[in-house]
Amino acid sequence: MDSPHPSSSRTPTQARTVKTPKTAMSDNNLTILRRYAGLPMPGQVLSKSVLFSEAEDTITVYDAFPKSIFHLLVLPRSQPAPEDEEEDSSQPTLLQFVHSAKSTKPKAKQSLPTAHQVRNLPTMLSNLPKSQSKEILLKMQDAACSAKQEIEAEMIRIYGWKWDVWIGFHAIPSMEHLHLHVISADLISEKLKKKKHYNTFHPNLGFFIHVEEVLEWFDTDETFFQKKIRSLATLHPILKQELICFHCDQTINNIPTLKKHLQEEWDKVDKRKKASQARAAMFAAAAEKRRLKAEEGKKRKSVDYIEIDDTEEDEQDDNHQEKRRKTERSSTCA
């Protein structure tokens, strides 16, 4: 199964799909997201198979290794890291993009955080003022919610119904640069191959931290806030926990069995949704038929009334004329 927010780089109607394109850049360099976020003109530099949308403070890209039918990443834009501005032969594709836009490259906004300040969630929360960290998170959330709306529209267009979309962070990310996952709640993907892939996105284990939860930390006292930041580094053992279906809480022995089970669970919901839609369409058609029949009945009744009225008028005219003829005959005889 195959497995876009203010100032989108392309409108929803122009987008071929919200799913990760098969040609998406799959560079596994751990700093590739940092490079994307530091680009002053991502729309002119990155291909459409990489960049989903851009705004003044964020960019949204396709996850090159999607773990669900729909999977996007929202990045806070940052000032370019000094090392990323140096030529690096290990990134020829991206460098080719960068050099092609060099002549028109504007200076990065000085108000943007440095690449180091948004290296990951605990780094940002520990090194930036809370007000600035919260502002960055809120802008990322706005971008994610807009992306979610487009994903839901795509779900309806392709599948005829929509399901949940999770928005959250990994407690311990595998790649450098803060990124917010926008991922459909199915975890059906050929790229999901290992236990850690699944457990990092399980919505209830605790390694996947929903963005709303992180924002709630800002409403707590400083002691609790710092405690939550420190706790992130302790969650690695979750990745080795047993596999538990997030639909039904069933324990699964291995990844192949889990993937089959997840597909079956999704197929059951898909079948149920489509059956429900079919019933709704049938009821709607029946209701429309009854409405049209009722309207037709009203029209017939109205025509009958008109015919009755015309008959009575004709009878009255005939009686009047007959009475007048009798009067005329009487006058003549007299």
Domain boundaries, the chain: 31-81+112-240, 242-299
Give 51: exposed, middle or buried? Use CB within 10 Å, 0-12, 13-18, 19+: buried
> Above 80 in pLDDT, residue 164?
yes
Backbone angles phi, psi at 78, to 5 degrees: -140, 170
Give 285: exposed, middle or buried? Use CB within 10 Å, 0-12, 13-18, 19+: exposed
C-alpha angle with apex 94: 92 to 99, nearest 5 degrees?
90
More confident residue, 123 or 332: 123
d(CA 32, CA 330): 116
Q: Which pLDDT band holds residue 294 (cuts at 50, 70, 90)?
A: confident
d(CA 44, CA 103): 12
CATH number of the structural domain 31-81+112-240: 3.30.428.10
pLDDT at 284: 87
d(CA 20, CA 170): 20
d(CA 171, CA 166): 15
pLDDT at 102: 45
State pLDDT tens for residues 36-81: 999 999 999 999 999 999 999 999 999 999 999 999 999 999 999 8
Average pLDDT over residues 227-253: 97
Average pLDDT over residues 251-265: 97
pLDDT at 7: 34
CA 78, chain centre distance (Å): 24
pLDDT at 314: 57
More confident residue, 311 or 267: 267
C-alpha angle with apex 107: 106 to 110, nearest 5 degrees?
145
Q: What share of the chain is helix, strand, coil (3-state, %, to 5)?
A: 50, 10, 40
